[in-house]
Amino acid sequence: MAPQAPPTFDTQFSPEVGAAIALAPGLTRITAPNASPYTFTGTNSFLLGTERVAVLDPGPDDTAHLESLHRAIAGRPVSAILLTHTHRDHSAAAAKVAARYKAPLWFGGPHRLSRPLRRFERNPIKNSCDWDLQPDRTLTDDETITAGDLTLTVHTTPGHCANHLAFGLPQHDILLSGDHVMGWNSTLVAVPDGSMADYFASLDKVIALPYRHYHPAHGGPIPDGPAHAAALKAHRQLRNEQLLAAVASGAKTIGQVVKAIYPTQPAKIRMAARMTMAAHVEYLEQRGALKVKRGFLGMRLALA
């Protein structure tokens, strides 16, 4: 079998921020003005439906973005506010939008860690999580829902965080993939908020689903979603191999591993890499490939 080609990332996507962009019948994208190294060109909010609509990922609590959503809704009834997950770049405006349109909040349950905190451990993205938001309805795997006047299938896709969901539109061969599969970069997995083992399992899950076209929550559309997801999986497996090679060559800390694998990346990218490498360390430890000693000053790594 030929080796899996590396993922091709679309870093040239240039959204019309604030504009309502029709993607398919009943599917409209409005990109928020919150571009950053972690959100790329901004959070993509989606309107689902034609005569009635639902709002998916209302995004940041930004006045200009909320008015862009309001213009795109254009007086239509709003049946629900949906979330792919409860990181604040997706959910900070959710309660305000729900109140404005008298619509219920539907998502995968309150924000929660993928596992309990260990001694001396902290959640590095704690302040980016919407801990207090409560759903009016908790969505579950493989259930069918009506959002606006569209029929959606809910797919649980933990990994980036524990309550992450993707939404399938069977009638359009589309998966709204949230932050699980994006076209501009690989997904940040920061333990214990996220889980690399869950991320790999959720990649296998979406690859097997019957949707070809993905629309992520950041960046542009992905024409062949399953192929891109398979390339992302191979990319992460390569990172596992690189991590083990770095430890075999003498790296004993996360910092030394990141320096070996990402020697030329800027500081902000290396900070994200440090979080994702910690998730890879945990994954490899769970599989018996690494030995990890944890203490107040961090982790010490050795091959098992």
Domains of the chain from N-terminus onward: 21-234 (3.60.15.10), 236-303 (1.10.10.10)
Angle at 42 between CA 49 and CA 130, to 5 degrees: 80
DSSP sequence for 105-155: EEESSS---SSPPPTT---TTGGGB-TT---SEE--TT-EEEETTEEEEEE
Alpha-carbon distance of 194 to 114, in angstroms, equals 5
Q: For residue range 118-147, list pLDDT tens digits in order.
A: 988 999 999 999 999 999 999 999 999 999
Query: What pLDDT digit, counting tens, does each position of 206-247 carry?
Result: 999 999 999 999 999 999 999 999 999 999 999 999 999 999
**At 55, which helix (H) or strand (E)?**
strand 53-56
Per-residue pLDDT tens digits for 182-199? 999 999 999 999 999 999
Name the strand (E) or helix (H) holding 232: helix 225-248
pLDDT over 60 (residue 59) = yes
Provide the percentage of residues in the chain whose pLDDT is more than 70. Answer: 99
> In angstroms, rounded to a whole number, what is the distance separating the alpha carbons of residues 76 and 150?
14
pTM score, whole prediction = 0.96
Which phi-psi region, left, alpha or beta, contains residue 40 (left: φ > 0; alpha: ψ -120 to 50)?
left
Q: Could you report the per-residue pLDDT of 253-287, keeping only the tens digit for each? A: 999 999 999 888 777 778 888 999 999 999 999 99
pLDDT over threshold 80, residue 4:
no
